[in-house]
Amino acid sequence: MSKKVKGRSLKAKSLNWHQTIAIFGGIGLLLWGLSGLLHPLMTTFGPQQAVFYPPARPLNLQDIKPVHDILAEAGITKAQAVKVIVSDQQNLLQVTESQDQPRRYFQLNDGRELVGYDQQHAAFLARYYTKIDEDTNIRQITRLENFTENYPPVNRLLPVYKVDFERDDNLSIYVYTETNASAGLSNNFKNNVQAIFRVVHTWSWFPREAEWGRVVLITLFIGSLLALGITGVMMLILIRRKIPAKEGRKFHRLAGYILALPIIMFSASGLYHLIEYADDEPVRNLKLSCNGNLADVKFPLHEQWTDLTKGLNVNNLSIVQDVSGQHLYRLGLAPQRKAPTGDAAIRNARFDGVETTGPAYYINATTGETWQNGDKELAIQLGERFTGVDRDAIKNVEMVKRFGSGYDFRNKRLPVWRLDYAAPVNATVFVDTTTGVLADKTADSRKPEQLSFSMLHKWNFLFPVGRSAQNIIISVFVLATIIFMAIIGIQMDLKRRNRGK
């Protein structure tokens, strides 16, 4: 067969395929395009926290009751996290004995326990992040140990407290008391937008036992949309019209030169994401350390606090454990950075990431000697503890100070250390040395999909232009594909089918 004949055959096939799936793919573009617009709408106009950084207060432990005495008198011999936190009116010692249980709080001056204070601390954080004063009542505080429709697994952090305010917009904030973090905000607008997004974009209304049906149906729609994009490109390359096309067809074709690639990007990455995570159960990668016996914590830190912290701006204090089981006081230093102010700046900081603590200074909790190994060494030791694999398997170690495709804003925790492991782990592990936390873990097999979804679906390659500009650019392209590709394309196909009757 000659090249000319083959070319005509390929032209005919691409045109036939394009026309065959036009209606199905056009409906898919309308459904997923319109519902996809809800995401930038939600992130741009949804509720926004009024303050970015966690609450801060000067840390002066000179006159406190010794930490080891507070723990001993409370009968606490083991804990997953021990740290000094900022709460309402005063700094407190916060103890997390179990990751899934309410945290315990103790006054620093006399060691008295504030029984059941975790919920009250959540209320303080809710008012702090929203700047809602006491004039507005809190309707309800709910402890969430599982993800919900309005607090889906994308948020990562559990357990959290949902604090509902008595307001016309039903504003709610989710707070994570271990890091004094805002885990998310919702109101009527965001809840309604999320509900529509779940119904139209992710089809999460499908029962769990019929997951295969959801995947098959969405694959048919998105697959046909991908095929439309590919056959459209083939037609643009192969078909050259001698007679000028009618207006609608002309606009459809001209727009194809610009919009065919975005259609392929959105549909291919969406299909990849769907198949990669089909039938996946929500996974909580975040794990707190399991500290050994705290009996060796006996150095009277308060007695030498002034000398130890001279010239240092200490931001936080926690007790961590090295790989040998030795407990250390970790003195976190405040970052040299101005806090973002205003809705736009806070929104960008929330998505882009800003570290909430600076370098750290370590003291042996038994002897009071300086632990010279430093933050990086502790991160490597944490990696050994969480993976059970020797450090020889680590290919790369680096500090992460900004969110990106491999570790994004959903983790709500910066800075962290990134450890890239070869076999047998074959994954990247993120650890937070502040309290010895496994913040996240990503298998190497999942990284191609993560990169695809970040760059091709969310268009995070537009990161340098800013979050607001990124949302505008994506929305313009999606609206253009809906108008010139879906609406005009469906009209053209319906006219063609009517002519064929």
Above 90 in pLDDT, residue 381? yes
pLDDT beyond 70 at 247 = no
pLDDT of residue 310: 84
Residue 190 CB contacts under 8 Å (≥ 6 apart), including other chains: 42, 46, 47
Report which DSSP code applies to 415: S
Cβ contact 357:315 at 8 Å: yes
Residue 490: band (very low, low, confident or very high) from pLDDT cuts 50, 70, 90: confident
Distance of CA 136 to the CA centre of its chain: 30
Report d(CA 387, CA 491) in Å as an integer.
Answer: 57
273 pLDDT above the threshold of 90: yes
Percent of the chain whose predicted confidence (pLDDT) is above 90: 50
pLDDT in tens, 163-195: 999 999 999 999 999 999 999 999 999 999 999
Over residues 292-307, the mean pLDDT reads 87
The pLDDT mean for the chain works out to 86
Under 8 Å CB-to-CB from 93, ≥6 apart: which residues?
67, 70, 82, 83, 84, 85, 105, 106, 107, 108
| Of 47, 106, 29, the residue nearest 71 (C-alpha) | 106
Average pLDDT, integer, range 452-480:
90
Global pTM value: 0.86
Q: Cα-flanking dihedrals φ and ψ of residue 472, to 5°?
A: -65, -45
Mean pLDDT across 441-450: 92
Percentage of residues in the chain with pLDDT exceeding 70? 90
Is the distance from CB of 163 to CB of 122 less than 8 angstroms? yes
State how far the Cα of 368 lies from the Cα of 9, in Å rounded to an integer.
Answer: 81
* CA-CA-CA-CA dihedral for 317, 133, 155, 55, to nearest 10: -20
The yes-or-no verdict on residue 343 having pLDDT over 60 is: no
pLDDT score for 120: 97
Task: Map tokens 């610009």 to a residue.
Answer: 258
Q: What is the pLDDT of residues 255-264, one digit of tens each?
A: 888 999 999 9
Flag the least confident range among 121-125, 386-390, 491-495.
491-495
